[in-house]
Amino acid sequence: MTDQYTFGNPVTRYHQGGFEPQPQDGPGLASELSPRPDHGEATYRGTGRLEGRKALVTGADSGIGRATAIAFAREGADVVLSFLPSEESDAREVADLVEQAGRKAVLAPGDLTDEQYARGLVATAVRELGGLDALAVVAGKQQHAEDVADITSQQFDETMRTNVHSLFWIVQEAVPHLPPGSTIVTTSSIQGYQPSPNLVDYATTKSAIIAMSQALAQQLAPKGIRVNVVAPGPVWTPLQVAGGQPDDAMPEFGTSTPLGRAGQPAELAPPFVFLSSGESSYVVGEVLNVNGGMPTP
């Protein structure tokens, strides 16, 4: 079985080459992807690095958020799982895995474009977990458009509200509850540095997330709250097949990286764990690029 611990060639560690087109209606389900993404369900081994922590993970049903929630639980954290109601079947699988790790899972379905829901996630965590000290803001919206004229105001607004506004709402609501030692990890992208011409609105939000996170990192560091960013490259998640990429791009998806393949969600969970743990206590305002070798500033 492929895992994150056995010494081996990273080029051949996971699925090589592209993927068959397999369009889904948004937001998409991991359970319907072929091949099934690896979120670390069968392999991630915790070592107590987040023992007793109280975490909120957005986009926790699939992809990077799912892998992060699983890893957080196996590292000892209780987790509030934020996801869209249509993704509940995937989210319940994650909740089962969290509970199998001996931790508390709180299902919190809703739409992050709704300010009341986004802010309410903090109250849910404080009430259900007895506090909050770890945020992993992962959820995102990505829809390709070959021409700027094809981006509707509704799509632009939904992308901004999902990716940027919700981050602001959650952090603003959370800060008064976060004790010293707490962590916030946000999710940017290679698109924040190397924007694709067909992802104008998405790339804009990913640059904004870096700027917001680095400003917050400086503001909150004196309070003992660390803010950092993970910036993935191409990763095999439902985001890609639910309009994130054109169908005809899927056979080549991820193959342009120096490793020649897309990443798997299981490869993104360890950076979130590291940046949320005490091991990274002197890491503040950093952007950790996990992109298969694509050059970044």
Total structural domains within the chain = 1
pLDDT digits (tens, 9 = 90+) for 148-198: 999 999 999 999 999 999 999 999 999 999 999 999 999 999 999 999 999
Whole-number pLDDT of residue 194? 95
**How far is CA 145 from each of CA 110, 199, 221, rounded to the nearest angstrom?**
26, 6, 38
Percent of the chain surpassing pLDDT 70: 100
Domain-located, residue 37: no
Left (φ > 0), alpha (ψ -120 to 50) or beta: where does 164 sit? alpha
pLDDT for the residue 1: 63
The yes-or-no verdict on residue 115 having pLDDT over 70 is yes
What torsion do the CA atoms of 217, 220, 225, 230 make, to the nearest 10 degrees? -20
Would 38 be classed as within a structural domain? no
Type of residue at 52: G
| Averaged pLDDT of the chain | 96
Tell me, yes or no, whether 14 lies in a domain: no
In a domain, 92, yes or no: yes
Q: Which amino acid is at 173?
A: E
% of the chain residues with pLDDT over 90? 92
Residue 147's domain comprises: 48-289
> What pLDDT band is residue 243 in, cutting at 50, 70 and 90?
confident
- For position 75, what pLDDT does the model report? 98
Task: Let me know if 282 is a catalytic residue.
Answer: no
Q: Does position 81 have pLDDT exceeding 80, yes or no?
A: yes
Q: What angle do CA 13, 48, 176 make, to 5 degrees?
A: 110
Find the catalytic residue in 14, 117, 202, 282: 202
Residue 4 has pLDDT above 70, yes or no: yes
Residues 150, 152, 157, 158, CA torsion sign: negative
- Looking at the domain assignment, is residue 3 inside a domain? no
HSE of 64 in the Cβ direction (CA atoms, 13 Å)? Answer: 29
What CATH number does residue 87 fall under?
3.40.50.720
Q: Hey, is 271 helix, strand or coil?
A: helix
Please determine, for residue 26, whether its predicted confidence score (pLDDT) is greater than 80: no
pTM over 0.75: yes
